[in-house]
């Protein structure tokens, strides 16, 4: 069974979908850590339901991003974590973490990359007037939402309705992240 760490900054609905899939055997893995950079993130509450240990670390507690990430790497190594799963983690990953987990960091993004990278991807898509957007799971590299794509799924835009489009996207995210993870873990 593969050992994962999930990183989140906010609600954590993707984290919960993955935790549920690990619990019921849909994904052959266990979540060793939830890593959070925001003490008020709702993801922390979700972790309690699953008895998943949570580590709250804020970059401002460290003198540099490298020092912040070095502490994370140390904690991940202590639990023999092999894969890092970003699920609404609102930071760029730096070299310290990338070098410690080469090609072993995944992210989910709420658009069909390379369209609409960065913040507020759903709003960007709705405002642009595209008729189809979607979800991308990809490997993480130094860039913002630029790494090699693993899986994508299209979602119809509900015309001019950001909230309804977001709801449809989140539903697809929860299914697609599980599939992509199981696919990647199975091949490793
Ligand atoms: C998701 O839309 C994900 O694609 C993006 O951040 C959001 C996180 O949502 N990277 P949640 O915290 O998993 O509910």
Each residue's pLDDT tens digit, 154-170: 999 998 899 999 999 99
Per-residue pLDDT for 50 more than 90? Answer: yes
Q: What is the mean pLDDT of residues 135-152?
A: 97
Domain ranges of the chain: 1-102, 107-188
pTM of the model: 0.97
Using a 6 Å cutoff on CB, does residue 87 contact ligand 1? yes
Per-residue pLDDT for 70 more than 90? Answer: yes
Atom of ligand 1 nearest to the CA of 42: 12
Active site (annotated) includes residue 109: yes
Structure tokens, 163: 């909230």
Q: How far is CA 20 from CA 6, 51, 86, 123, 183, in A?
A: 13, 12, 16, 28, 17
Using a 6 Å cutoff on CB, does residue 134 contact ligand 1? no
CATH T-level assignment (fold) for domain 107-188: Rossmann fold (3.40.50)
Per-residue pLDDT for 188 more than 90? Answer: no
DSSP summary character for residue 185:
H
Average pLDDT taken over every residue of the chain: 97
Q: 1-102 and 107-188: same fold?
A: yes
Using a 6 Å cutoff on CB, does residue 10 contact ligand 1? yes
Residue to probe by mutation, ligand 1, list 87, 107, 145, 163, most atoms within 8 Å of CB: 87
CATH T-level assignment (fold) for domain 1-102: Rossmann fold (3.40.50)
Q: How confident is the model at residue 69 (pLDDT cuts 50, 70, 90)?
A: very high
């Amino acid at each position: 069974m593969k050992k994962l760490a999930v990183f989140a900054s906010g609600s954590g609905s993707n984290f919960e979908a993955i935790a549920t899939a690990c619990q019921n055997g849909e994904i052959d893995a266990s979540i060793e850590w939830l890593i959070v950079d925001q003490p008020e993130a709702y993801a922390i509450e979700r972790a309690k339901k699953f008895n998943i240990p949570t580590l709250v670390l804020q970059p401002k507690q460290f003198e540099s991003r490298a020092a912040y990430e070095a502490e994370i790497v140390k904690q991940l190594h202590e639990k023999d974590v092999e894969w890092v799963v970003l699920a609404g983690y609102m930071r760029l990953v730096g070299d310290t973490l990338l070098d410690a987990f080469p090609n072993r960091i995944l992210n989910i993004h709420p658009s069909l990359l390379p369209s609409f990278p960065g913040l507020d991807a759903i709003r960007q898509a709705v405002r642009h007037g595209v008729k189809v957007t979607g979800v991308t799971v990809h490997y993480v590299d130094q860039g913002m939402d630029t790494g090699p794509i693993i899986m994508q799924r299209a979602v119809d835009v509900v015309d001019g309705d950001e909230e309804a489009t977001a709801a449809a996207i989140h539903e697809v995210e929860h299914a697609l992240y599980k599939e992509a993870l199981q696919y990647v873990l199975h091949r490793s």
